Chains A and B, each alone.
Chain A
């Protein structure tokens, strides 16, 4: 049995935030995640670091939280945040009465707004519809969810925190009204692993209700609500573009690294795992999006994906349910040491982690204060490292890689220098080089090619894995770096995951791409053919 003080269930933004917060306070903690890191909603969201302006009218409390956390994350999460700013645009379809209410709400919440001339707006964002009649600037930004989770986890590790991925909690062990530990299924070996602890933080997002039920307590009224998002192949806006109206479906475009994401929908889901979007949803999003970007049909869709939100309250409340987060201390219901945290937004993950860690620290009698609002998640990469990296990386990739792997950049460079190898580009669409892949593959939390994808963006660009998956696997084999699946299954697993997201929007350019993939893997390489062996 592995023993610790706190077990955190869920390796999303919230869970990894809690792991880091507790570790920084010196409280021993282990985080368990059923999939790879950020397997849940934290990798299936829109990527918007909210300014809060979206909630200014309906939920001013949320708006306030957002702007405060937004400002904090800009400082501590530099490598995950891209400072893009955002626009709120009024289209002919939007109620003109909304703007004054919205401005008032932003003012109350402390969100800076500035009206800018249409001429300037169109100069900055030339692809915007010329039917737009008003444009306001707000401090929206973009945030990379994968990276945020990873960097929190890496930082937590430096403070002694531990994490186990592919460990699904299947039982909560209690004894006389107090938690004692959990049993988790190691999904790779199929073994049950027992963990002992004094406290459990249930940070399992949309699964939080299930987890409470597992403990034997009365189920929480949490219902998963599914949101679909569409990813475009290139960045046709450099800013977050919101509609100046009452929050609704399909009204936000977010530039995210090399791609643009449009979303989202809101529909009741049967289970938290319900993450397959439909073509109808994609088409509906395009219909709505066309009002803001009239040429949206000319932009190639890479894929569509969906995530679920844990909505607290009566089933079917949808968009009107509160997005504020909830902390439930189950001691009050008779199970001491068990705390659930859910809801909120990725933008407020740090605050959520702080509040729940306060509860745990209080129970454990630890007085150390939260420091996550001041200390950067990962230290900056030095100028020296950056300039050294120019020798081995494509010029444009240096800063991108620095943001992706942070302080480990030095180790990656060391490895290149030692091995004296040419640092080939493995993934050309997202500029991922051999050294980065090798380095990430050797991390304890990297089991499958998919884990490497999440950390490096391998296979997330134009070709959706067609070329880079094969190259990456070949390179890893070459270096004798073992993964949990044999190479051919690893690629299949990887391509299958990509394919799931391609299917709902399989037309135009991406259909051509998929045909090329099919030709290479199913025809030339005979990946699913008879007599296939490898």
Chain B
């Protein structure tokens, strides 16, 4: 018995989580959160054979949101999966999908077109398919490396500073979100610092079974966060999954890494910006957009329990009315929906959201999470934008 095990005792077997798990709803291959989490955990301590089903948990955390007893269900699942991977070795496919940040960093000086040619030509896709990455999956295309662009960027000299954790999606696949983020913080009077020591938040590593690598990343990132927190500079991220990783998973999985005043570590950027609006630091006077906008709240945002700040933010800053899709999970869960055996599950889970978006006939689709954006594009054909990008577009009339 190892010490990392999480006490499963809080579960009262009410099965509420079972009803809220999007994956269990669409596939019999997954036995559901209660069974695979707290119930099976009692047998893991007995060293029984692991259930195949464990690998179907998407780590979307809807179970955690629903559980009335505060059971760390998804963490139970992830710790078990990591233990399984450590014992039985991980799949090459899972290693590749979870070490994207590491790989992208390794290749960051290779020209983008060449990287994309390497990754997205049919031959590569067939090879990837052979190792278990669905050839139909909407793997995002590489973009210029955000932090290389940031290094050359001239920001106005501003008194207030803020640290921005970009996350892999912005770093590797869509630097424009990062630039929009810098733009809006500058507008609010903050100069943005993007420390070069930041590495992947580790969530993909955890989800794919690589706990030890995730622990290393957590330690690196937390030491950077600490340095700035001690100087009184807040740390934010625009990515809900990174934020959740720092707020919930890091303290739960790697309690040794966090320090006393760590608290959440990293704040949701949109929540922070709403604070700026409330303090009068940020507004775009006279903006009154009439665009129709539909918003999808990523599961990992809802799991933070901070409400939906992006809705308020867009409405306050642009004057538009937002329709909240309220249609559950998009089904991608990071790299989950890219996997061959899970690709269809991802689409089935996302169906309600896709239909809601299509039926809304809205002109703009917005959501914070990069992979949600990718999946929405894949499922509806419509491009989805980060809320801050939407604000910039509307404000600058682009």
Contacts and interface: CB of A to CB of B under 8 A. Distances in A.
Interface of A: 124-127, 233-238, 257-259, 298-300, 394-400, 425, 428-429, 431, 461-463, 466-467, 509, 512-513, 516
Contact of B46 (A257, A298, A462): A257
Interface in B1-40: 1-3, 7-15, 31, 34-35, 38-40
A234 B42 contact: yes
Given A429-B39, A431-B43, 5 more contacts: A126-B1, A300-B9, A461-B39, A462-B11, A512-B12
Contact of B52 (A126, A300, A395): A395
The 4 A-B pairs with the shortest beta carbon distances in the complex, nearest first, are A396-B48, A300-B9, A126-B3, A463-B13
A466 B2 CA distance: 30
A258 B45 contact: yes
B52 A428 contact: no
Nearest to B14: A516
A234 B9 contact: yes
A400 B9 CA distance: 22
A33 to B, nearest CB: 30
Given A125-B1, A516-B12, A428 B39 contact: yes
Nearest to B35: A428
B50 interface: yes
B292 interface: no
A397 B49 CA distance: 8
Contacts of A512: 12, 69
B355 interface: no
B50 A462 contact: no
A467 B15 contact: yes
A94 B394 CA distance: 75
Binding site of B, secondary structure by majority: helix, strand, loop or mixed?
Answer: loop
A241 to B, nearest CB: 12
Contacts of A298: 7, 9
6 contacts: A234-B42, A298-B9, A395-B51, A396-B48, A462-B12, A463-B12
Contact of A233 (B15, B42, B48): B42
Contacts of A467: 13, 15
Contact of A396 (B1, B14, B51): B51
B45 A400 contact: no
Nearest to A400: B48
A258 B1 contact: no
Contacts of B191: none
A258 B46 contact: yes
A126 B2 CA distance: 7
Contacts of A233: 8-9, 42
Nearest to A126: B3
A385 B17 CA distance: 34
B10 A234 contact: no
Contacts of B31: 394
A429 B12 contact: no
A327 to B, nearest CB: 38
Given A233-B42, A234-B7, A396 B13 contact: no
Binding site of A, secondary structure by majority: helix, strand, loop or mixed?
Answer: loop
Contact of A466 (B11, B13, B35): B13
Contacts, number: 89
A429 B49 contact: no
Contacts of B8: 233-234
Nearest to A302: B9
Contacts of B42: 233-235, 258-259, 429, 461-462
B41 interface: yes
A339 B107 CA distance: 85
B398 to A, nearest CB: 54
Given A428-B35, A428-B39, A235 B45 contact: yes
Contacts of A516: 12-14
Contact of A395 (B9, B38, B49): B49
Given A126-B2, A235-B1, A509 B46 contact: no
- Name, among B1, B7, B35, B69, the residue most crowded by chain A CB atoms within 10 Å (CB to CB): B1
Contact of B13 (A127, A425, A428): A428
A466 B12 CA distance: 10
Nearest to B13: A463
A334 B361 CA distance: 99
Nearest to B34: A428
A431 B34 CA distance: 13
B213 to A, nearest CB: 23
A299 B12 CA distance: 14
A396 B49 contact: yes
Given A462-B13, A509-B9, A513-B12, A235 B46 contact: yes
B7 to A, nearest CB: 6
A237 B5 CA distance: 12
A428 B51 CA distance: 14
Nearest to B7: A298
Interface string B45-81: 1111111100000000000000001000000000000
Contact of B45 (A238, A462, A509): A238
- Name, among B10, B34, B45, the residue most crowded by chain A CB atoms within 10 Å (CB to CB): B45
A398 B47 CA distance: 13
A447 to B, nearest CB: 27
Given A126-B2, A235-B1, A466-B13, A396 B7 contact: no
- Name, among B11, B42, B52, the residue most crowded by chain A CB atoms within 10 Å (CB to CB): B42
Contacts of B15: 467
A428 B47 CA distance: 17
Contacts of A509: 9-10, 12
A395 B43 CA distance: 11
Contacts of A258: 42-43, 45-46
- Name, among B8, B14, B15, B50, the residue most crowded by chain A CB atoms within 10 Å (CB to CB): B14
A299 B7 contact: yes
A399 B43 CA distance: 12
B19 to A, nearest CB: 14
Nearest to B12: A513
Contacts of B9: 233-234, 298-300, 509
A397 B46 CA distance: 11
B13 A238 contact: no
Contacts of A395: 48-52
Interface string B240-257: 000000000000000000
- Name, among B2, B12, B35, B41, the residue most crowded by chain A CB atoms within 10 Å (CB to CB): B12
A234 B41 contact: yes
A513 B13 contact: yes
Contacts of A463: 12-13
B39 A462 contact: yes
A442 B24 CA distance: 33
B69 A396 contact: no
